[in-house]
Chain A
Amino acid sequence: MKGLSINNISMRFDLKNGSSVQALKDVSLDIDEGQIITVLGPSGCGKTTLLNIVAGFLAPTEGNVVLNEQVVQGPGAERGMVFQQGALFEWMNVQSNVAFGPRMKGMSKSEQGEKVKHLLEIVGLADFEDKAVYELSGGMQQRVALARCLANDPDVILMDEPLGALDALTREKMQGLVLKLWKETGKTIILITHSVEEAVLLGERLLVLAPRPGRIHKEYTLPFAEMGVNMDLREVKKADGYTKTRDEILSIIWEMEEEIMGRAEEN
C-alpha cells in the first residue's frame, strides 16, 4: 500500500527535573499519496514533535510511522524537510545547495546541473545558480529550500512553518508556489503552520491539534487547495464557505489559547 500512516503515536519527554511532558497522545492518521495536509494548533501543542517523528529525527515512545509499507526508523531521503529558516548551507551557493541531495546519491555533475537548472526555473529563481544564499531575500531563500527538497525527489515533503518568517505579500506568493509544486509534482505534503488562513487555503485536509497532551482535535476536508491550483488565492478567499471555515477554526484556536492562558494563571 502506497501512502503514509501514522499509527497511535504518543510522545513523552522526560525532563531532567524528573517531571515529564506529554507532547503527543495517541495520534493516528492515514495520508494517501499526493495529499496535501495542513496542521494547525496553538504553539506548544506538539506540531513540530509530530513532524520530527515522521521525519525520523525522533523515535516516538509509542506507535510507529509507516511509509510505503516500511516502518520509519530514522531520517531518510524519501522524506524531505523544509524548515522555517536557517537550514540552507551558507557556505554553498544556490547551485550547490539545491544539488546537495543528488550529490549525496552520487548523481553525475552534469545531471545535477540540469536538475538544478530545471528546479530553479520552477521555483522562479532561474539564473540564480551562482548567487550566495546570504545575498538572497527571505522569500528567495525559501524558494531555494523548496528546490533543494524537490531535487531529492522525496515521496513526502514535510514543512515546519516554512513561510512563518516571511512578510505578508511574499508569503501569499509562496503559498501559490506551494500549491503549484504540489500539483505539478504530485507529492504528499504535510505543512505545519500557525496561520489559520494558510492552513485553510493550502490544506486538502486540515488537522487541528489540541494541546496537553497533543492530540487531533478536529479534522476538516476542504476544497480550497484544489481551487487555488488554477485560481488566484485572493479569489479563493472569496469562495463559498471559505470565510465560515476560517472563522470557525479561528474560534477553536482562540478557545484553546484562552484555556492555556487560564491554566497558566491558575498555576
Chain B
Amino acid sequence: MAILIFYIIIFVAAFYVVKVATSFTKSQDDFTSLKTVTFGDESAVSPNRAASFISVIAVFAIWAAFTGSKLIPIHVPGPFIGELTFSYIAMNSSGETDDADVTITVYDVQSGDIPEKLDIDPGSGFAHNDTDQIITYRSGLIKVQNNDDGGKEKGYKVISVNGQEISPDTEIFIDNARIFMTRKGTLSVTPEKGWQMQPVWLPAPETVWSRLVKVGSEGYKNFTLLEHLGWSLIRVVVGFLAGAIIGIPLGYAMGLSGWFRGWFDPIVEFMRPVPPLALIPLVIIWFGIGEQGKIILLFLASLWIMTISARAGVSGVNIAKIHAAYSLGASKWQIMRLVIVPNSLPEIFTGARVSMGVCWGTVVAAELVAAQKGAGMMIINASKFQMTDLVIMGIVLIGVIGYAIDILMRISENYLVPWKGK
C-alpha cells in the first residue's frame, strides 16, 4: 500500500518536473507541436522518453528503497535493530507489586553475527530483570514469570508495562515495539518492523544481482544457468518449428480445399480456445515428464495458431492478384508458390510472433510442473527453498528472453515481409 502511494507520488511529481524542465526547451518545428487538437488524436500521442526513463528508474529506486539496498542512500525505515528495554510491574499471589526491567537484543540474523546473551543484574524484589533476543521481523514471547519469584503461582500477573496498564488479550505500544499479552498472561513482543520488505519476500537488487553472478558461474541444481535457459529455449524452438511445419501446410490445405477445411475445422475450432496449460496434465499422463512431453505440448500450443494464421493468409489474398496471375499464364503450382505463399507471409509472421510468445509462456509453466532443467524449474525449485532472490532473477531473465524473442521476430518480420501493412 505504502509502495503504491509512493509510486503515484513519483509519477505525478516526475510529470510536473519534466513538464517544467521541458517547457524551456520546447522546439516548435515539429508538426505535432503545431497541432492544436491533440487530446483524442492518437497520432499526436508519442511516448515521452523521459517518462519511460524515469519509470524504469522509479521501479528500481522503490525496489532499492524498500529493501534497504546499499545502492541508494535513502531508504524507508528498516526494522528496529538494537536494544529494546521496558519495565513492567507484576503483582504476586499475595497482592504485592514489584517492578523489573526487560532488555531485548533485536538482531538481524542475515548479517551473520549473533549477539551474545547479556549479563544483567537480577535487581531487588520478587520481580527480576530479564533479557532475551529476538530476530528482526519476528516476535518473541518474553516469559517474565519464569524468572520472577512466585511467577508460577496462581494470582501472579503482569499489570503494567512502561506505566501503561495491560491485561490479557490487549496490546500496548512502547518505543520501537508492540507488546501483546496472550490469554495466559505472557508478554509477546514484536519489535518495529519498519516499512522495508523482508528479504524472503523481496531481496535487495544487489542480492539478486549477486545471485545472478553466482548462479551464472556455479550453476544451479546440476546445470549451468545457460543450460537452464538454453533448454527452455530449445524446447520452445523445437516445439514451435514442429507446430509450424505441420500447421502451415495444414492451414494452406484448409484455405485451398473444401474437404480439408470441412475435416479440420471442427478440430481446429475446438482446440484453439483450449489453453495449452490445460493440456499439461494429459501430456504428462501420456508422455511423461521428459523432453518428449514438453515438446509435444509446445507443438500443440503453436500448431493451432500457425494453422489458423496460414489459413487466414490464404483466404486473405486479394482475388485480383490470383486473377492477374492466371491471366499472365501462371499454373496452379506457380500461383501457389509465387502468389499464395508470399501473400500469406505477413499473416504467418503475426502468427509466429503470437505463437512464440505462447510457447515461451507454456514452456515455463510446464517446467514449473515437472522438469529437471529449465528456467521454470529453476524458479519453482528456488521458491521451495525460499530463495526469493533466485526466483526474482529467474522471472527477470524469463521476461528479458521473452522480450528478446519478440524483438527478434519483429526484426526478421521487417526484413522478410517489408510490404506488411503497406
Footprint of B on A, CB under 8 Å? Answer: 52, 55-57, 74-77, 79-81, 83-91, 100-101, 104-105, 132-134, 148-149, 152, 154
Contact = CB atoms under 8 A, between A and B. Distances in A.
A134 B324 contact: no
B323 A87 contact: yes
A100 B419 contact: no
Nearest to B339: A89
Nearest to B329: A77
Contacts of B327: 55, 75-77, 79-81, 149, 152, 154
A91 B342 contact: yes
B323 A81 contact: yes
Given A101-B329, A104-B334, A152-B329, A83 B417 contact: no
B320 interface: yes
User: Which of B326, B338, B343, B345 neighbours the largest number of chain A CB atoms within 10 Å of its CB?
Assistant: B326
Nearest to B345: A91
Nearest 5 pairs of A and B residues by beta carbon = A77-B329, A90-B419, A134-B422, A75-B326, A87-B320
A89 B328 CA distance: 13
B422 A81 contact: no
A87 B343 contact: no
Interface in B365-422: 417-419, 422
Categorize the interface residue count of chain B.
20 to 34
Contacts of B214: none
Contacts of A90: 419, 422
A208 B323 CA distance: 25
Contacts of A55: 323, 327
A81 B323 CA distance: 8
A52 B324 CA distance: 11
A132 B342 CA distance: 14
A104 B331 CA distance: 8
Contacts of A152: 327-329
B326 A57 contact: yes
Contacts of A149: 327-328
A83 B326 CA distance: 13
Contacts, number: 73
B345 A83 contact: no
A77 B327 CA distance: 5
A81 to B, nearest CB: 4
B321 interface: yes
A86 B320 contact: yes
Contacts of A105: 329
Interface of A (DSSP majority class) = loop
Contacts of B339: 89
A86 B318 contact: yes
Nearest to A160: B320
Contacts of B321: 86-89
Contacts of A88: 321, 324
Given A57-B323, A89-B321, A91-B342, A134 B419 contact: yes
Contacts of A91: 342-343, 345, 417, 419
B277 interface: no
Nearest to B421: A134
Nearest to A55: B327
Given A87-B324, A89-B338, 18 more contacts: A57-B323, A74-B326, A75-B323, A76-B329, A77-B327, A77-B328, A79-B327, A83-B320, A83-B323, A86-B320, A87-B318, A87-B321, A89-B339, A90-B419, A91-B343, A100-B338, A152-B328, A152-B329
Contacts of B331: 104
Given A76-B329, A152-B329, A81 B419 contact: no
B323 A132 contact: no
A241 B324 CA distance: 37
Nearest to A152: B328
Nearest to B417: A91
A87 B328 CA distance: 12
A76 B330 CA distance: 9
B325 interface: yes
Contacts of B318: 86-87
10 contacts: A55-B323, A56-B326, A76-B329, A83-B323, A91-B419, A101-B329, A104-B330, A105-B329, A132-B418, A133-B419
A115 B342 CA distance: 25
Contacts of B328: 77, 80, 100-101, 104, 148-149, 152
Nearest to B335: A104
A258 B422 CA distance: 38
Nearest to A104: B329
Interface string B91-135: 000000000000000000000000000000000000000000000
B324 A81 contact: yes
B348 to A, nearest CB: 13
B134 to A, nearest CB: 71
Contacts of A104: 328-331, 334
A85 B343 CA distance: 16
Contacts of B324: 81, 83, 87-88, 148
A132 B330 CA distance: 22
B321 to A, nearest CB: 5
Interface string B307-335: 00000000000101101111111110010
Contacts of B338: 89, 100
A41 B330 CA distance: 32
A30 to B, nearest CB: 22
